[in-house]
Amino acid sequence: MTVEELNECAADGTIDEVIRVAEARQVKALSKIADTICSRDDVRLVLVSGGSAAGKTTTAKRLCTQLRVDDRFAMHLSTDDYFVGDARNPRDENGELDYEHVDCVDIEPLAKDLNALFRGEAVLKRSFDFVNHRPAYSGEFITLPRGGVVVLEGIHALNPRLSEHVDEAAGFRVFVDPKPSLDLFSGLTPSPTDSRFLRRLVRDNQFRKLSPVVTLELWPKVLAGERKWIEPFRGNADAVFDSYLVYELAVLKSYAEGLLARARLEIGEVPQVMNMIRLFSAIDAVSPNAVPGDSILRETIGGSQLEY
């Protein structure tokens, strides 16, 4: 679809159909991945990875739904729940906390819990307190029914270190990657990295109240961490899920345009900011109210009907 066609749909009221088709295409893709997983009785662990703001969490949750459609019980877990906390978190060469490092994850307790779940044992549910930056427990116990699948999601999920001590060797690996399909003019086609940055820009402001300048400053560190800890393992994936939605820039415009304008005022006309401002100038805004409650885009803008 071209940007002109998207703008026409926004103007003539047919954008809802564009949204329905885009969302249905993702459901179909996830259904195919679930069918492939269920064709293998030995798969007990599904590993879902991808870069920052790729849509990993929503993808994992929706994949659980599709597995249940195939009568395969699926439980979602996040590697974020197994962060070690700042006291044990690795530091970079400058002595700063390195949140991209694989050792941010408490690998041995994670493997212990997975093995217990696969044996049918009850496990004390773990989470992470992002306010105090330490592990937390609610007192809730979780169990995996016989034949059930654990869908483990996180940026390091495809790193062999996370599953090397898991007894259930049979796993299925999914890499989540948005691949922009909206054709823009004048060479303004967004890259996958640009798409994820815009999602991150909006998400950081919506849920973490970070200024756009802070997100811009952090982004190079995020990409450097991905090159070191994610890219080497993406080739291990059994399936790649395209999390891009052809209409998403039209929805993100209402959020991102103002944030980019703020960044321009604070740090000047840097190329990354100016290119994205020009990008949004070519796109007509679409109301976020049109976005379905279980859409991957809700992970960015909020209002999801899914629990995070």
pLDDT class for 189, splitting at 50, 70, 90? low
Find the DSSP H helices in 83-239. 107-118, 192-207, 212-229
Residue 38 lies in a domain: yes
Work out the angle between the directed axes of helices 248-267 and 271-281 (0-180°, nearest 10): 140
Under DSSP, the state recorded for 190 is P
Say what the pLDDT of residue 95 is. Answer: 87
Say what the pLDDT of residue 43 is. Answer: 92
Instruction: Please give the residue range of the domain that contains residue 248.
Output: 3-81+149-301
Which helix H or strand E contains 141, and what residues bound it? Answer: strand 134-142
> Strands across the sheet with 45-50, in order?
74-78, 149-153, 45-50, 171-176, 239-241
Say what the pLDDT of residue 187 is. Answer: 54
Contact 129, 122 (CB under 8 A): no
CATH number of the domain bearing residue 158: 3.40.50
pLDDT more than 70, % of the chain: 98
Say what the pLDDT of residue 196 is. Answer: 95
Query: What are the pLDDT digits (tens) for 1-27?
Result: 889 999 999 999 999 999 999 999 999
Under DSSP, the state recorded for 71 is T
Contact 302, 207 (CB under 8 A): yes
State the average pLDDT over residues 195-207: 95
Query: What are the pLDDT digits (tens) for 258-279?
Result: 999 999 999 999 998 998 998 8
Domain count, the chain: 1
Residue 18 lies in a domain: yes
Residue 266 lies in a domain: yes
Residue 218 structure tokens: 């952090």
Q: Which residues contact 259 (CB under 8 A, 6 or more apart)?
A: 201, 202, 205, 212
Determine whether 236 is exposed, middle or buried from the number of CB atoms within 10 Å of its CB (0-12, 13-18, 19+): middle
Please state, rounded to an integer, the average pLDDT across all residues of the chain: 92
Which stretch of 117-131, 157-171, 208-222 has the lowest confidence by average pLDDT? 157-171
Query: What are the pLDDT digits (tens) for 70-86?
Result: 999 999 999 999 999 98
Residue 116 lies in a domain: no
Residue 92 lies in a domain: no
Residue 126 lies in a domain: no
Say what the pLDDT of residue 260 is. Answer: 96
Contact 142, 205 (CB under 8 A): no
Residue 111 lies in a domain: no
State the average pLDDT over residues 224-245: 94
Say what the pLDDT of residue 186 is. Answer: 59
pLDDT class for 53, splitting at 50, 70, 90? very high
Residue 86 lies in a domain: no
| 46, amino acid identity | V
Q: Look at 54 and 93; give whichever has higher pLDDT.
A: 54
